[in-house]
Amino acid sequence: MGATMSWYKAVLTNLQIAAGELITLVADFEYLYLNAGEPAGMALFQGELVPAGCTVYFSPGSVRHASYLIAGYGGTPCETPVREILQYLGGDMSLVDTSE
């Protein structure tokens, strides 16, 4: 695991959201975050809405502790998302931009 860690994103479909999977994802992520000792830089965000559903972003600090969760939702490496589109869902709150 010598590669530079990047952000990961996954798209939850409207059907998954209606079935409560976003709530399950947040709960599972929070469990992993707390279980890992609340590591700095581990956070989950909701991004832009897309026709298929919504995008969720896993911060680089999430990869070590939530890799199976990221893989389970089909997460793929991506560019750093634009902060303005992000809504905090869980994890390290210090990653939330509060300069408004």
Length of the chain, in residues: 100
Residue 49 banded pLDDT, cuts 50, 70, 90: confident
- 11 sits in the region (left: phi over 0; alpha: psi -120 to 50; else beta) called beta
Sign of CA dihedral 75, 59, 87, 77: negative
Residue 7 has pLDDT above 80, yes or no: yes
Residue 61 sits in which domain range? 7-93
Residue 98: pLDDT band (50, 70, 90) is low
The reply to whether 57 falls in a domain is: yes
Q: In the chain, how many domains are there? A: 1
Is residue 15 one of the residues assigned to a domain? yes
pLDDT at 4: 58
Q: Determine, yes or no, domain membership for 79.
A: yes
